[in-house]
Structure 1
Amino acid sequence: MQKLILLALVGLGAQLVDGSLGMAYGVTSTTLLLAIGTNPAAASATVHLAEIGTTLVSGLSHWRFGNVDWKVVLKIGVPGAIGAFAGATVLSNISTEVAAPLMAVILLVLGFYVFIRFTFQGLPKGQLGKPLRKRFLAPLGLVGGFIDATGGGGWGPVGTPAILASGRLEPRKTIGSIDTSEFLVAIAASLGFIWGIGSESIDYGWVLALLLGGVIAAPIAAWLVRHIPPRVLGAAVGGVIILTNTRSLLRSDWIDAPDGVRYAFYGVIYVAWAAAIVYSVLQYRKHAAEDKQIIAEAEHATTAGEVPDDKASANA
C-alpha cells in the first residue's frame, strides 16, 4: 500500500512538471521505477499505460486554456506513434542486463540536455507566429517516439526543446501541443509493449497509481504553465534525472564504481545542481519583463494576421 501511495505521488509530481514544462513525466517516472528494481521494459510499459489517461486529461486541460495548436499535434503525433511502437518492440526484445544500463544512459543524456538547455538558454522565442513545417515535425516525431519508448521517456525532452528552438511557436502552445500529441505516442507504445512482453508482465496496480496522481495534477499543470518559470523548473528536473541515472550507472555491472567514487560524483552533481537553480532564478528575474513583452507582441501580431519580426532573447 505504501508503494502505491508513493507511486501516486510520483505520478502527481511528474505530471505537474510535464504539464507545465512539456516534458519529464516519462523520464521522471521511469527513472524512479528503475531505481526500485523494476524491469526496464515493464517500467516503460507501466509508464506508457498510465500516460494514456494522463495525456488525455492533460490534452483536454491544455485545450481548455488555449494552449494547443492542433496542426502541430497531428503533424508530430502520428509519426511519433509509429516511432513509439517500433521502440517498444525493440526494448521488449533486449535482455534486462543490457536494457537497464542502456536505458540509464539514454535517460542521463536526456537529463543533461534538459539541464543545460534550460539553465543556460532558457526558452527561445524568436520568430514567433511562423508556421512549423511537416518536413520538420514528422522526422522529429519519429525519433522522439522511438526514444520515448526505448528510454521510458523522451517525447517531451526531444520534441519540446526542438520546437522551442525553432522560435515559431510560443512556449505555452509548444508545451500544450507536445502534451496533447503524447496521447497518440502513449497508445502506440503501450500496444507495442503488450505485444512484445505480454500483459502479464505489467503491474496494473502501479499503472492505476501513476494514473491517479497524474490525472489529479494535469488540470493544475495546464493552468500553471501560464505562471510558472519554465527555466527554473527545467534546471530542477534536469538535476533530478542526472543524479538518479548517474547513481544507476555507477552501480551497474558496466561500471560497479566503489563507494568513494560514487559519493564524489554525487557531491559534484549536488553542487552543480544548486548553482544551476540559483542561476536560473536570477536569469529569469532579469529577463522576465522583456520576455513577457515579446510574447504579448507576438500574440497580438498573430491575432492581427501578421508575422512578427522580433529577434527575441533566449532567456525565459
Structure 2
Amino acid sequence: MRKLVLLALVGLGAQLVDGSLGMAYGVTSTTLLLAIGTNPAAASATVHLAEIGTTLVSGASHWRFGNVDWKVVAKIGIPGAVGAFAGATFLSNLSTETAAPVMSLILLALGLYILTRFTISGLPKGNLGKPLRKRFLTPLGLVAGFVDSTGGGGWGPVGTPAILASGRLEPRKTIGSIDTSEFLVAIAASIGFIIGIGSEQINFAWVGALLAGGVIAAPIAAWLVRHVPPRVLGSAVGGVIILTNVRTLLRSDWIDASDGVRYSVYAVIWVAWAAAVTYSVRAYRAENRAAAASVVADEPEPARV
C-alpha cells in the first residue's frame, strides 16, 4: 500500500512538471520504477498505459485553456505513434541485463539535456507566428516516439525543445500541443508493449496509482503553465533524472563502481545540481527585473501643465 501511495505521489508530481514544461512525466516515472527494480520493458509499458489517461485529461485541460494547436498535434502525433510502436517492439526484444543500462543511458542523456537547456537558455521565444511544416514535424515525431518508448520517456524532452528552438510557436501552445499529441504516442507504445511482452509482466495496480496522481495534477498543470517559472523547474527536474540514472549505471554490470567512487560522483552531481538551480533562480529574477524596468521605461511621461 505504501508503494502505491508513493507511486501516486510520483505520478502527481511528474504530471505537474510535465504539464508545466511539456516534458518529464515518462522520464521521471520510469526512473523511479527502474530504481525499485522493475524490468525496463515493463517499466516503460506501465508508464505508457498510465499516460493514456493522463495525456487525455492533460490534453483536454490544455485545450480548455487555449494551449493547443491542432495542426501541430496532427502533424507530429501520427508519426510519433509510429515511432513509439517501433520503439516498444525493439525494447521488448532486449534482455533485461542489456535493456536496463541502455535505458538509463537514454534517460541520463535526456536529463542532461533538460538540465543544461533550461539552466543556460531558458525558453526561446523568437520567430513566433511562422508555420511549423510537416517536413520538420514528421521526422521529429518519429524520432521522439521511438526514444519515448525505448527510454520510458522522451516525447517531451525531444519534441518540446525542438519546437521551442524553432521559435515559431509560443511556449504555452508548444507545451499544450506536445502534451495532447502524446495521447496517440501512449496508445501506440502500450499496444507495442502488450504485443511484445504480454500483460502478465505489467502491474496494473502501479498503472492505476500513477494514473490517479497524474489525473489529479493534469488540470492544475495546464493552469500553472502560465505561472510557474519553467527555467527553475527544468533545472530541478533535470538534476533528479541525472542523479538517479547515474546511480543505476554505476551499480550496473557495465561499471560496477566501488562505494567510494559512487559517493564521490554523487557529491559532484549534487554540487553541480545545486549550482544549476541557484543560477536558474537568479537568471529568472534578473529577467523579471529587466522586464519590469522595460515596462517602466515604455510608460509615457505625464503631461506637463
For residues 132-186 of structure 1, the C-alpha deviation after alignment (integer angstroms, 9 at most, x for no partner) is 1110000000000000000000000000000000011111110000000000000
Q: CA RMSD in A?
A: 1.3
Distance 1:266 1:130 in 2: 43
For residues 16-72 of structure 1, the C-alpha deviation after alignment (integer angstroms, 9 at most, x for no partner) is 000000000000000000000000000000000000000000000000011101000
Distance 2:213 2:109 in 1: 27
Give the equivalent residue in structure 2 for 1:310.
none
Q: Which amino acid aligns with 1:264?
A: S
Q: Which amino acid aligns with 1:79?
A: P
Give the equivalent residue in structure 2 for 1:196.
196
Cα deviation, residue 292, structure 1: 9.3
Distance 1:216 1:293, change over 3 A: farther
Q: Which amino acid aligns with 2:162?
A: A
Distance 1:197 1:177 in 2: 30
Q: Which moved more, 1:40-49 or 1:281-290?
A: 281-290
For residues 221-264 of structure 1, the C-alpha deviation after alignment (integer angstroms, 9 at most, x for no partner) is 00000000000000000000000000000000000000010001
1:168-183 correspondence runs (5 A): 168-183=168-183
Give the equivalent residue in structure 2 for 1:157.
157
Confirm whether residue 35 of structure 1 aligns to residue 35 of structure 2.
yes
For residues 70-122 of structure 1, the C-alpha deviation after alignment (integer angstroms, 9 at most, x for no partner) is 00000000000000000000000000000000000000000000000000011
Where structure 2 has 5 or more consecutive residues not aligned to the other structure, the ranges are 295-305
Cα deviation, residue 291, structure 1: 6.5
Cα deviation, residue 285, structure 1: 1.4
Q: What is the SS of the residue equivalent to 1:201?
A: coil
Give the equivalent residue in structure 2 for 1:256.
256
Distance 1:235 1:140 in 2: 24
User: Number of matched residues?
Assistant: 294
Q: Which amino acid aligns with 1:244?
A: T
Q: Which amino acid aligns with 2:68?
A: V
Give the equivalent residue in structure 2 for 1:96.
96
Give the equivalent residue in structure 1 for 2:242.
242
Task: State the TM-score, normalized to the length of structure 1.
Answer: 0.91
Cα deviation, residue 290, structure 1: 5.7
Give the equivalent residue in structure 2 for 1:141.
141
Q: What is the SS of the residue equivalent to 1:44?
A: helix
- Percent identical among aligned pairs is 82
Give the equivalent residue in structure 1 for 2:20.
20
Where structure 1 has 5 or more consecutive residues not aligned to the other structure, the ranges are 295-316
Distance 2:34 2:99 in 1: 11
Distance 1:72 1:200 in 2: 36
Q: Which amino acid aligns with 2:117?
A: R
Q: What is the SS of the residue equivalent to 1:47?
A: helix
Distance 1:198 1:113 in 2: 33
Distance 2:55 2:268 in 1: 35
Cα deviation, residue 123, structure 1: 0.4
Cα deviation, residue 129, structure 1: 1.0
Distance 2:285 2:134 in 1: 35
Q: Which amino acid aligns with 2:146?
A: F
Cα deviation, residue 289, structure 1: 6.0
Cα deviation, residue 288, structure 1: 3.0
Give the equivalent residue in structure 1 for 2:225.
225
Structure with max Cα Rg: 2
Q: Which amino acid aligns with 2:155?
A: W
Distance 1:178 1:266 in 2: 33
Task: State the TM-score, normalized to the length of structure 2.
Answer: 0.95
